[in-house]
Structures are given as C-alpha cells and as structure tokens.
Structure 1
C-alpha cells in the first residue's frame, strides 16, 4: 500500500475538504545568461465547497543583472478559481478533472511585473493510484496591449518511495515536464523537472525540484541555464 502527494511544478487536481485552506510558498532561483532571478511566491487557496476553490498568489522578486543592476519588489497579483467538473473514485484510485481560471493584474513594480493584464483558461487532470500519480495541466493565456498570447502545458509522474504507514510519512519522487509556446514571435521552451517531496505529517510537506531546459527554440537572448525550487506547503485547518 502506497501514499501520494501533490505534484511540484504541475497543478494538483486534489482540493482540500470543505472550507479547507492552506499556504504554499517556495523559493525559485533562476540562472539566466545575463543574470539571476530569485522568486518567492506566496499562494493562499481556500475551498468554497468540495468542488470550488479560490485563491491568490503574490510573488516577491529579486533580479540581479551581470551589469550590476539589482531590482527587487512585488510582482503581479494573480487571482484564481478552480472547479471540479469530473470525479470518479474507485478502490485505491481516483480520476479528477478541474477547470482552472486565473487573472493576472499588472500590480508589480516596473522591471518586476509584466506590465500587462493576462487571463488564463485551462484544464487540470489527474489519474492517481496508491502506486503512481499521473498529472497534467494545460491552458491558454490571453494578454492585453497587443502582447502575444501563449499556450502552456505541464505533465507529471509521481511515485511514492515509502510504504503507507501511520503516523503519516511520505517520500515521493516526481518527473515533470513544463512547456510554454508563444504565438508571435514563435518561441517554444520545454523544461524537464525531476523533484523530491517529503511529507512528515498530515498538515505539512517539503519539496524541491531542479528544472533543466531541453528546448529553447527561437530564444535569441537571455536563455535560461537552469532553475532550482525549494518550498513548503501546510494546511491551516
């Protein structure tokens, strides 16, 4: 008998119980050709019902360029909503599909935020058993000010490394893929993202992921070398 945790860089189709709430935060270090970026987002989800979840995300960012310039401040505010449109539970297995909507507001500091509004419409899917979890999310970003739209897609396979035990303790490994396609100009990036997750109890987990670019098509400047993520999540009730 095995246990499962949520994917690291892919949206999870499993929500908290009724009126459940939590906090997720992680530090992401991004190594670029012309400098480094550190991002510390804080996400707060809240369940309106067992099928409907809302929340917000606000990132704190620090950009350091090779020329010596450093910029820091809050990034753009993101509000999101998820609604479960399909659920099928069986013995030691569940299949779930969620609709996902996000709205990005240009509240970030100049040089930190995008400076545009962005609406995201997507789908989250998961096929989870006690021995393996397969997750995916994909969606379309509609941008303002004649900025190019883009399509993102993410996949994850999670495998637990510890047998089920009580008190609850989990060690999970993930292999994830993160893709982004911009329509004009046509720019395509794909990252492979292996990661680990440790869950010492019911209310908290720790996770890390190392993201390596495998496709950076038509990225002419400021390519990404790698990204490192280290974070935690915990339930408030």
Structure 2
C-alpha cells in the first residue's frame, strides 16, 4: 500500500511539474505535451506604429506526432489602416509552417531543462505590406534554438535564431528572453495564474535597424484551456522615422485536446 501511494505521489508530482506554467505569450518554450496531442490557438496582435495600425488574427493548429516533435500551420488574417496615403485593406497574411524537435532533456525533482531546434517557414501569401512577421508577400525561413528551464517556482526561456529573406531586406538576428512566475500553487485539476516578463531583441542586418521590446503579460489556465493578455512596448527603437513601433496588444486563447 505504501509503495502504491508513493508511486501515485511521484506521478502527481510529475504532472504538476509539467503544468507549473503554461506556454509564454510572445516568446516560445521547449516543453512539449505528450505525443498525439493537438492544440488549437490564436494570438491576436493589434500593432500600433507611426505608419499605421495592423490587426493580425492567426488560427494556429499544432500537432505533436511524438513527445519530442511538433508540426504546425498558422493561417492568418490581417487588417490594416495607414496614417500615410497608402490604401487601407484586409485579407490573408503570410501563411506559416513550423517544425520543432526536442533534442535534449534533463529532468530533476520539480524541475526540467530542455532544448529544441525550430524552423518557421513563411509563405508569400499576404500583401506586400513590409510589416515584420505579419505580411510581407515574400518567402522567409527562420532557423533557431530554444532552451528553457522550468521549476515549480519560476521558468526561464531563451530563443536565438536567424530569419532569412532571400528576395527582401528583412534578414534578422533574433534573441528572446522570457521569465514566467506562477502566482498559484500547482494543483490538480490544472488551474494556473502566471505572470510573464518577455524581451525581444531584433537586429535587421540589411536595414541597420535594432529594436528591444518588452512585453508584460498575464495568463490564466483552467484544465486544457488557456487565456493570454500582454502589452508590448519598445525600450530601444532604432529604426527609420515613420516606421517605429508605439505598442502592441496581444489577446490569445489555446485549447489542447
């Protein structure tokens, strides 16, 4: 009987460890769910810039063929309103296809460290709006590494990668750093309230632009549903006049099954 209780306690601890925090909001994490699982999600971004306002609404479908691999497709809609004499409009943005493979994992009691190789292929299906990550009308290939540490008390995620645009000028070195802080004790059924502090460094090599962005987010999760809210503002905005970011507002939800 004692051995049965011990086994159940260890299993519960492992479950709580994986549910200590949900996925970051504007960043990424290397922790994956079990093989065969699906996640349907959206993360609407309302981006306010000197050039205009862009509302980006993606439908994202993620599937894990195995416990250490993921494939996904992002089908986005965008509407845009310019402050210049450019024409306003709406329609399909650039479709994205993502792949991830977890190649390193080290677990401890109430903690885990993992690393993932990631690629994001952007198809030129959107209008040529020259809006980073949303709609450029040009092919792009992103290749990066994601590393993350997570415990019952906090989580840290890092992502380093390069975005290649062979027929354009949006080649970019990208580094993201995120911190997650759970506000509730781990419990079952899953119930979470998390704060996120996320930084994005973006160097556009051909245009000689640099941005350092900070996102403050909050996340609520109940069982297999998650709700996200974040505001992102520039700390460093070394880009051309008229193209600078003022702020972005993110609203998202996820459902895993």
Flag whether TM exceeds 0.5 (same fold): yes
Cross-structure match for 1:96: 114
Return the match for 2:38 from 21, 30, 55.
Answer: 21
Deviates more, 1:211-220 or 1:73-82: 211-220
Work out which of the two has the higher radius of gyration on C-alpha atoms and give 1 or 2.
Answer: 2
Return the match for 2:149 from 127, 136, 141.
Answer: 127
Whichever structure has more strand as a proportion of its residues is 1
Following TM superposition, the consecutive aligned residue runs of length 4 or more in structure 1 with deviations greater than 4 angstroms are none
Cross-structure match for 1:156: 178
Whichever structure has more helix as a proportion of its residues is 2
Q: Is the aligned partner of 1:44 residue 2:61?
A: yes
Give the count of matched residue pairs: 235
Query: Which structure is higher in RCO with an 8 Å CA cutoff and minimum separation 6?
Result: 1
Structure 2 CA distance for aligned equivalents of residues 128 and 207 of structure 1? 19
Q: Is the aligned partner of 1:178 residue 2:195?
A: no
Q: Is the aligned partner of 1:216 residue 2:237?
A: yes
TM-score (norm 1): 0.94
Structure 1 CA distance for aligned equivalents of residues 252 and 77 of structure 2? 14
Structure 2 CA distance for aligned equivalents of residues 150 and 105 of structure 1? 17
Q: Is the aligned partner of 1:70 residue 2:82?
A: no
SS of equivalent to 2:27: coil
Report the CA distance between 1:16 and its aligned residue.
2.0
Cross-structure match for 1:196: 218
* Structure 1 unaligned spans of 5+: none
Cross-structure match for 2:9: none
Structure 1 CA distance for aligned equivalents of residues 238 and 139 of structure 2? 25
Structure 1 CA distance for aligned equivalents of residues 188 and 71 of structure 2? 31
Structure 1 CA distance for aligned equivalents of residues 243 and 71 of structure 2? 34
Q: CA RMSD in A?
A: 1.6
* Structure 2 unaligned spans of 5+: 1-15
Kept after mapping to 1: 8 A contact 2:138/2:168: no
